[in-house]
Homo-oligomer: A and B are copies of this chain.
Amino acid sequence: MDSTNNTPNMRLNQMLERLKESDFRITPQRYAVLHVLANSPDHPSVESIHAELLDNYPTMSLATVYKTINLLKQEGEILELEFSDLSNRYDGKKPYPHPHVICTKCGKITDPSQLNLEEITNKMMEETGFKIVSHRLDFYGICPNCLE
């Protein structure tokens, strides 16, 4: 269990607090998007968040989801996984870099247990002279379901 993410509501509250502190308004639409991001066990796309919310918020626009996502990105409250050939995916539960295992058939994304990349990151900084601030480690393959 992650100390920064004991329960979904705790994570939701953290996000809400961050927005309030930065003087952003908490609208029903924003609250709803945050709620999905704080509770999704998988890594939703903008499209899937929008689709999920349409039932309860029939006027919710895709633009609002995009704008909320960008706000959270800017505030460092979500992690964005970029894909050029399909839509991006987001992790609101663990907004810091961590490894992912991605099924290249169905798109399922799971988080394996934490790997410590600190030592490797330090080596990279020494070797390249970069000031490294983030990383991305993805394993691509076929998930157990798709293997059957």
Nearest CB of B to A17, in Å: 27
Q: Which of A22-30, A36-44, A52-60, A82-90 contacts B (4 or more CB under 8 A)?
A: A82-90
Q: Is A141 part of the contact surface with B, judged by Cβ < 8 Å?
A: yes
Contact partner of A134 (CB less than 8 A), chosen from B99, B130, B141, is: B141
**A110–B83 Cα gap in the complex (Å)?**
20
- Residues in chain B near residue A132, CB distance under 8 A: 101, 139-141
Measured as residues with beta carbon below 8 angstroms from the partner, the interface class of chain A is 35 or more
- Residues in chain B near residue A128, CB distance under 8 A: 101, 110, 112, 143-144
A137 contacts B135, CB within 8 Å? yes
- Residues in chain B near residue A144, CB distance under 8 A: 128-130
Q: Is A124 part of the contact surface with B, judged by Cβ < 8 Å?
A: yes
Binding site for B on A (CB under 8 A): 82-85, 88, 99, 101, 103-104, 110, 112-113, 115, 120-121, 124-125, 127-144, 147
Closest to A85 in B: B82
29 contacts between A and B (CB under 8 A): A82-B82, A82-B83, A82-B84, A84-B88, A99-B124, A101-B124, A101-B132, A104-B133, A104-B134, A110-B128, A112-B127, A112-B128, A128-B143, A129-B143, A130-B139, A130-B141, A131-B141, A132-B140, A132-B141, A133-B140, A134-B139, A134-B140, A135-B137, A135-B138, A135-B140, A136-B136, A136-B140, A137-B137, A137-B138
